[in-house]
Amino acid sequence: MNYPDSVRFLYSLGNEVKTAKLGLERIGRVLEALGNPHRLRRIVHVAGTNGKGSTCALIASGLSAGGLRTGLFTSPHLVEPTERIQIDGRVVTAHQFAAAFNQVHTVAEHLLDCGAIDLHPTYFESVTAMAFLLFRELRIDAAVLEVGLGGRLDATNVVTPELSVITPIDFDHEALLGKSLEAIAREKAGILKPGVPAIFSRQRPEVQAELDRRAAELEIEVIEAEQRWRMDDLVCHARGSRFTLHNGRIFRIECPLAGAHQVENTGTAVAALDRLGIRAGYIEQGIAHARWPGRLQHVSESPEIILDGAHNPAGARALASYLAQFHADRHVVMIYGAMRDKAVEEMTGILFPHVDEVIATAPNQPRAVDPDTIRELADHPRVRVASRLAEALEMARQAPSDSLILITGSLFLVGEALELLNG
């Protein structure tokens, strides 16, 4: 199949979350038939709820700056599935993506024919296997892997990493991971393995207790980023931050990722890179050049437009904090669209008090919340409805010229915005 055909087939396998089949047996058999491409020399495995993608991008940038040819696997994508697999900050080509898909698909069909697997690998399992294949074929030195869902039974958990990293854990995907933070933490802690050191971001007490319990059972080294590293001279601005970190040495950090939450993610990434033996200068250089699109990303100056994929309550709180800190005196127009499996009422309650106008819309997805439903849920005096993003943008541009336009609520909506504004 060519690239468009491979993408259509992957989409035909169904939504990643709704059709998720957690477990390692199927992905294990597929990878074995492919010659075990996941047995890479150096792997950093990252789980968490919020911040794991940003942390992966920061770690990968630091490894690349240190001279290592570095693969990065993240999810979901914003515009094209190729974004999920990167080498030294560049997405793989459509040809490379399609070639890897054809190898995985051919093996999967053979295993199905002989009864070795029960069904075709899911969307996420397929792309995970494709990433391992491309990392092997493109001869990377190190890989950074973002967990897709949970940790213990996620398809990426077939690896034995050099380092495990767990970013802040919060409520998300409760139907699959558990209704309590303790249950969710147990699933995320499933990436921890004997003999593999771990970096933990700052956690809620009940989460920390679960992570510590599992780490003690495995008798592994744990570095708690916030406790081991002292931060000084912190200056946050609307488009990033700068600060120094101390652990006996001094790291002067310039982070281009906006938001106070990214300071914490950067601290975790620096701790990971230091534990991996990357020199301080390379760490500083890598952090300064990191990119993570769709998260407090400025995409237009006149009018000023920011995209942010705040798709769960923790993400909404981080965005609300950013607005309060840097745009409290601005006229803010929020274009908001969300998916039905998200805590929409809670998130709108967090976000809408910080904006002057809301335009409720819907991502072009069958699971999107109807904009009229958002208007009914909203406790806000100025809520309008637009059926699609293009219409919402036209409405937002009628606001005063110095207004800030913020597009948020769903990564699907953020991806559409990137495509629309760049097209």
Q: What is the pLDDT of residues 254-289, one digit of tens each?
A: 999 999 999 999 999 999 999 999 999 999 999 999
Domain ranges of the chain: 3-288, 297-422
Placement of tokens 């995320």 in the chain: 188
Average pLDDT, the chain: 94
pTM: 0.95
> pLDDT (tens digit, 9 = 90+) per residue, 7-37?
999 999 976 555 556 789 999 999 999 999 9
> pLDDT (tens digit, 9 = 90+) per residue, 32-56?
999 999 999 999 999 999 899 999 9
When pLDDT is cut at 50, 70 and 90, the band that residue 81 belongs to is: very high
- Residue 86: what pLDDT? 98
| Cβ-based neighbour number of residue 208 at 10 Å | 15
d(CA 46, CA 55): 8
Residue 258 contacts by C-beta under 8 Å, 6 or more apart in sequence?
A: 238, 239, 240, 241, 295, 296, 322
Res. 253: pLDDT tops 90: yes
| Percent with pLDDT over 90 in the chain | 86
- Residue 16: what pLDDT? 58
The CATH label, of 3.90.1640.10, 3.40.50.720, 3.90.190.20, 3.30.479.10, for the domain at 297-422 is 3.90.190.20
- Residue 383: what pLDDT? 96
Q: What token pair was written down for 279? A: 């020199």
Query: Which of the residue ranges 130-134, 157-161, 224-228 would you say has the lowest mean pLDDT?
Result: 224-228
Res. 63: pLDDT tops 60: yes
**3-288 CATH fold:** UDP-N-acetylmuramoyl-L-alanine:D-glutamate ligase (3.40.1190)
Rg (CA), the chain: 21
Q: What token pair was written down for 249? A: 């040495």
Q: What token pair was written down for 111? A: 């295993």
- Residue 341: what pLDDT? 78
SS3 track for the chain: CCHHHHHHHHHHCCCCCCCCCCCCHHHHHHHHHCCCCCCCCCEEEEECCCCHHHHHHHHHHHHHHCCCCEEEECCCCCCCHHHHEEECCEECCHHHHHHHHHHHHHHHHHHHHCCCCCCCCCHHHHHHHHHHHHHHHCCCCEEEEECCCCCCCCHHHHCCCCEEEECCCCCCCHHHHCCCHHHHHHHHHHHCCCCCCEEECCCCHHHHHHHHHHHHHHCCCEEEHHHHCEEEEEEEECCEEEEEEECCCEEEEEECCCCHHHHHHHHHHHHHHHHCCCCHHHHHHHHHCCCCCCCCEEEEECCEEEEECCCCHHHHHHHHHHHHHHCCCCCEEEEECCECCCCHHHHHHHHHHHCCEEEECCCCCCCECCHHHHHHHCCCCCEEECCCHHHHHHHHCCCCCCCEEEEECCHHHHHHHHHHHHC
Res. 250: pLDDT tops 60: yes
Res. 241: pLDDT tops 90: yes
- Residue 191: what pLDDT? 98
Instruction: Decide: 214 and 186 in contact? Cβ < 8 Å.
Output: yes
Res. 228: pLDDT tops 90: no
> pLDDT (tens digit, 9 = 90+) per residue, 382-399?
999 999 999 999 999 999
d(CA 146, CA 265): 14
| Percent with pLDDT over 70 in the chain | 98
d(CA 250, CA 71): 28
When pLDDT is cut at 50, 70 and 90, the band that residue 342 belongs to is: confident
* Peptide bond preceding 381 in cis form (omega within 30 of 0): no
Res. 300: pLDDT tops 80: yes
When pLDDT is cut at 50, 70 and 90, the band that residue 229 belongs to is: confident
**Mean pLDDT over residues 292-299, rounded?**
95
Placement of tokens 């906006």 in the chain: 258
| Cβ-based neighbour number of residue 93 at 10 Å | 11
Placement of tokens 């309650």 in the chain: 349
Q: What token pair was written down for 139? A: 């001869």
| Cβ-based neighbour number of residue 131 at 10 Å | 26
Short-list 323, 315, 252, 306, CA closest to 283: 252
d(CA 284, CA 288): 6
**Mean pLDDT over residues 336-360, rounded?**
93
d(CA 170, CA 402): 35
> pLDDT (tens digit, 9 = 90+) per residue, 179-222?
899 999 999 999 999 999 999 999 999 999 999 999 999 999 99
> pLDDT (tens digit, 9 = 90+) per residue, 137-147?
999 999 999 99
Instruction: Decide: 50 and 318 in contact? Cβ < 8 Å.
Output: yes
- Residue 113: what pLDDT? 95
- Residue 138: what pLDDT? 97
Residue 381 contacts by C-beta under 8 Å, 6 or more apart in sequence?
A: none
CA atoms lying within 13 Å on the CB side of residue 252? 1
Q: What are phi and psi of 27, to 5 degrees?
A: -65, -35
Res. 175: pLDDT tops 90: no
Res. 172: pLDDT tops 80: no
Res. 87: pLDDT tops 70: yes
- Residue 18: what pLDDT? 53
Q: From residue 35, give the alpha-carbon distance in Å to each of 30, 83, 136.
A: 9, 25, 10
